[in-house]
Amino acid sequence: MPKIRDIELGDFPLLLAPMEDVSDPPFRALCKRHGADVMYTEFISSEGLIRDAAKSVQKLDIYEYERPIGIQIFGYDIDSMRQATEITEKTHPDIIDINYGCPVKKVACKGAGAGILQDIPKMVKMTAEIVKATDLPVTVKTRLGWDESTKYIVEVAERLQDVGIEAISIHGRTRKQMYKGEADWSLIADVKNNPRMKIPVFGNGDIDSPEKAVEYKNKYGVDGLMIGRASIGYPWIFNEIKHFARTGEHTEKPTVKDRAAAAMEHLEMSVKWKGEVLGVAEMKRHYTNYFKGIAHFKQLRMKLVTSFDLEEIRAILRHIRDHAETFAYSE
């Protein structure tokens, strides 16, 4: 049974990936309820934490019911990352996670996130300093390499373990691939099968169904799966995977009424946590998935993703919930 230090994770843990403007407390609450074993916050800028920037500090909000939870930090300067680690530790997460995987230009091209994959010695040195700066377990999220010619993840994972990380999550693409093409899990398996690796190895990338989750678990032998994009607007994915892994059978899909109720609850939590303007705006990425596969839904979906009027959105969601039986899934 995999553990991060003394944190029990269950037989085959499912982790909610850290996703910018997605993995916030409202969304994490729904994912926890629907079976996520470990969750990570949105990534937090080390420079923002040091400057006490409001958006960065707000992302440190964690709640008891979320545990075990990791706070993820990113940055390019080793001293800033060490200071950010000390600030983060004071909010008492269970884990501090380092983002070495974000491929977005504004992050990677400054040498943070996946950008550090171009400087492995610095990556190892930064990790060692962060481990030294905290008593909490430190984990890493990263990618296979910067591009096709630099997929050194087997060696990199071993070196990071040697300086003290206690788990690693690997996205099966390079930075250059961004989110295109198919994730290559064979190298993730090579990390797991390296006889020198003693820490849990979690795989990430393209897990979008219970069948694929179980297939990849069996084929690649990882200690657990990290789920990202497939959970957006669909927090049920975690329990669906667990049920299928246990029984070989599918749970019943959430009904249209279930989906509308979850979207309504998510919206209200989002508005309460972020305020009306941001709360309404950041929910938009979820609506398409909440109502995916429903026939003749285009007009309502367009209203949901274009309206910034909270009362109008509430009314649309109430209408869907109260008239759920009139909606059908497309074949």
Do the Cβ atoms of 131 and 163 come closer than 8 Å? yes
Q: What pLDDT does 155 receive?
A: 96
Q: What pLDDT does 250 receive?
A: 94
Q: Which helix H or strand E contains 171, and what residues bound it?
A: strand 168-171
Instruction: Supply the DSSP string of 206-259, one letter for each residue.
Output: ---SHHHHHHHHHHH--SEEEE-GGGTT-TTHHHHHHHHHHHSSPPPPPPHHHH
Band the pLDDT of 16: cuts 50, 70, 90.
Answer: very high
Against a cut of 0.95, is the pTM above it?
A: no
- The CA R_g of the chain, rounded to the nearest whole Å, is 20
Average confidence (pLDDT) over 314-326: 93
Q: What pLDDT does 227 receive?
A: 96
Average confidence (pLDDT) over 231-235: 95
Whether residue 233 has pLDDT greater than 60: yes
Q: What pLDDT does 273 receive?
A: 92
The predicted-structure confidence for 251-279, as pLDDT tens digits, reads as follows 998 999 999 999 999 999 999 999 999 99
CA angle 225-168-22, nearest 5°?
60
Q: Tell me how far apart the alpha carbons of residues 249 and 193 are, in angstroms, rounded to a whole number.
A: 29
Average confidence (pLDDT) over 170-185: 90
Averaged pLDDT score across all residues of the chain: 93
Annotated active-site residue 31? The verdict is no
Q: What pLDDT does 181 receive?
A: 82
**Residue 255 β-bridge partners:** none
Q: Comparing C-alpha atoms, which of 183, 143, 187, 139 is closest to residue 13?
A: 139
Average confidence (pLDDT) over 115-121: 93
Mode of pairing for the β-strands spanning 7-8 and 3-4: antiparallel
Which has the higher per-residue pLDDT, 304 or 103?
304
- The distance between the two most distant Cα atoms of the chain, rounded to a whole number of Å, is 59
Q: Which helix H or strand E contains 88, and what residues bound it?
A: helix 78-89
Average confidence (pLDDT) over 18-22: 89
Architecture of domain 9-247: Alpha-Beta Barrel (3.20)
Average confidence (pLDDT) over 102-130: 90
Q: Where are the domains of the chain?
A: 9-247, 256-326
Band the pLDDT of 296: cuts 50, 70, 90.
Answer: confident
Task: Tell me how crowded residue 320 is: count the other CB atoms within 10 A of its CB.
Answer: 24
Q: Tell me how far apart the alpha carbons of residues 53 and 271 are, in angstroms, rounded to a whole number.
A: 20
Q: Tell me how far apart the alpha carbons of residues 149 and 165 are, in angstroms, rounded to a whole number.
A: 25
Q: What pLDDT does 280 receive?
A: 95
Q: What pLDDT does 73 receive?
A: 95
Q: What pLDDT does 85 receive?
A: 96
Buried b (16+ CB within 10 A) or exposed e, 104-136: eeebbeebbbbbbbeebeebbebbbebbebbeb
Specify the amino acid at residue 106: K
Sign of the torsion formed by the C-alpha atoms of 75, 231, 96 and 5? negative
Classify domain 256-326 by CATH number: 1.10.1200
Which tokens is 240 given? 């669906």
Do the Cβ atoms of 96 and 71 come closer than 8 Å? yes
256-326 has the same fold as 9-247: no
The predicted-structure confidence for 64-75, as pLDDT tens digits, reads as follows 999 999 999 999
Which one of 30, 36, 38, 102 is the catalytic residue? 102
Q: What pLDDT does 238 receive?
A: 97
